[in-house]
Amino acid sequence: MKISATILLLAYATSSAYALNNIVIKGTKFFDSVTKDQFFIKGVAYQPRGQLTDNATDPLADPKACARDAPMMAKLGTNVLRVYEVDPKRNHDACMKSFEDAGIYLLLDIATPHFSINRKSPEYGVSLYNAYKSTVDAFSKYNNLFAFIAGNEVTNDRTNTPASAFVKASLRDIKSYIKQTKSREIPVGYASNDDEYIRDAIKDYFNCGDTESQADFFGVNLYEWCGTSTFEKSGFKDRTQEFANYSKPVFLSEYGCNLVTPRGFSEVSALYGPDMTDVWSGGVVYEWTQENNRYGLVQIQSSGEVDILPDYTNLQNEISKSNPKGVKMDAYNEVRSAPDCPPLTTNWKASTTLPPTPSEGACECMIQNMECVASDKVVSAIGETGNSTIGSQLDTMCGVVSCGEIVSDGEKGIYGAFSFCSARDKLSWLYNLKAKELKTPTSCGYNGFGQEVSPKRFDIQTCALIPPNLEGVTDETTDTALPSSASKITNISGRGNAFVASVVCVLAAIFLM
């Protein structure tokens, strides 16, 4: 079945905006702050890739595509959109308005392939913190922003659990940044995979400790229900029991196994039925467009026409039959305690001591105390193996002087005073340390990679105490710290009846073509 994008746009233009209400978290559930009804996420992942023509990876910067897709998602029953990657330097007004008018809110990942914690060699520095703040600044103004996800499957097995300490630190800092700079509360959470060796530890890790560093919600990317399975056979029952006493909202941040196609989505009846609604707040189906991995609900042609795939029709049928029974906010007063933090074991090695908040001022102060710094040459030079010379120089220098003040250890919970500074700043620290030790006229040479400078200040012992900058990220900063590439919600009864009737008629005609 093909749908003309032009006709869809015309039909959509006749619609009136939904009246969107804030969604708040109370205990383990989401609630509409006006109707006081419990809110269940009926979401879809949205990251078109096959139709990109300009190397862009931001689906919320394509107004025409958003206006085309929004009414189709609304017809599907969608109320939340999960997007994994955006460019905060681009304009998103039109797309966000299209989804708002369709009654759809945004669940946005702030970590991207270019700006995220590297699970194999985790670090959390100034540039990453600035990139995250840029995304928060760009999207916090929109009424239909639901929440941010600070990390997606960063720790994905028992070999890289120390990376979770860095993710949790970034989650803590983004929560604090929002609280101090934004006019409303916006939840920040984490999305995990379903690894059998770490699933218990990681859910507790992001929910333990001081409140400021706890995730506001926890998502699970769960693909255990394949084909015509059941609540018991699929593993959904076991996962539900594991979260039965969790103290924060949980939902399926991805679901929709495609080992059997077309997908029948029989799990929808369980997800929004009595077996799961007391624990889970709904879920996000993966994904909207058909890509190489074959999870699509629709196929977008180069002409802009949309092919409705069997998965869309099957999901629509299941969603239309779902009617989750929630509780009223004022009648819900259950308070659950956060769990103890998981101990270090063979499978779990993330320290409860988190990295410090990156401070650009601390790094600048450190550099201004130097007599020897890394020159421009070290940044542009490339080593024989194709690796940056700055990386090889750091490795070399760490063999001759102490790197204690610039390294991080997420397992031991040990973080140097300048561990969040840039690679060049770290190399400057090491060059200066060695130069002071040598005290010769050529001690800052380093084959041209070092440069002698006159210190501008003499208070290195106080530099690490300088707090992070909470002002908006400047254009100069975002040029080097932005992704290039992942609470409010709505009561969807706010559309005028006359407009509803007209739009339903037009869309019905389109879908029957």
Residue ranges covered by each domain of the chain: 17-345+487-494, 360-467
Q: What is the CATH number of domain 17-345+487-494?
A: 3.20.20.80
How do 280-285 and 41-45 pair as beta strands?
parallel
Cα 126 from chain centroid (whole Å): 18
Question: Do the bridges between strand 408-409 and strand 188-192 make them parallel or antiparallel, or are there none, so unpaired?
Answer: unpaired
Q: Given pLDDT bands bounded at 50, 70 and 90, which one contains residue 507?
A: very low
The residue with greater pLDDT, 491 or 385, is 385
pLDDT at 508: 39
For 212-264, the pLDDT digits (tens) are 999 999 999 999 999 999 999 999 999 999 999 999 999 999 999 999 999 99
Q: What is the pLDDT of residues 43-77, one digit of tens each?
A: 999 999 875 555 558 999 999 999 999 999 999 99
The residues near 159 (Cβ < 8 Å, ≥ 6 apart) are none
Residue range 79-104: average pLDDT? 97
CB 92 within 8 A of CB 61: yes
Rg (CA), the chain: 25
Task: Determine the pLDDT at residue 505.
Answer: 35
pLDDT, average across residues 120-149: 96
Structure tokens at 221: 């990317």
Inform me whether the pLDDT recorded for 384 exceeds 80: no
What residues form DSSP beta bridges with 353?
Answer: none
Tell me what the mean pLDDT of segment 487-499 comes to.
Answer: 31
Collapse the DSSP code of 130 into the 3-class scheme (helix H, G, I; strand E, B; otherwise coil) and give the result: helix
User: What amino acid positions are annotated as catalytic residues?
Assistant: 153, 254
Kindly give, in sequence order, each residue whose CB lies less than 8 Å from that of residue 54, ignoring residues fewer than 6 positions away.
Answer: none
pLDDT higher than 60, residue 36: yes
CATH C-level class of 360-467: mainly alpha
Q: What percent of the chain has pLDDT over 90?
A: 78
Tokens representing 501 are 């009737």
Gap between the Cα atoms of 58 and 46, Å rounded: 10
Quick: pLDDT tens for 271-284. 999 999 999 999 99
Residue 472: predicted pLDDT? 54
Mean pLDDT of the chain: 88
Cβ–Cβ < 8 Å for 116, 123: no
Q: Which of 153-162, 373-382, 406-415, 459-468 is predicted least confidently?
A: 373-382
Report if pTM > 0.75: yes
Q: What one-character-per-residue DSSP string does 338-359 give?
A: PPPPPPP-SS----SSPPPPP-
The pLDDT value recorded for residue 125 is 97
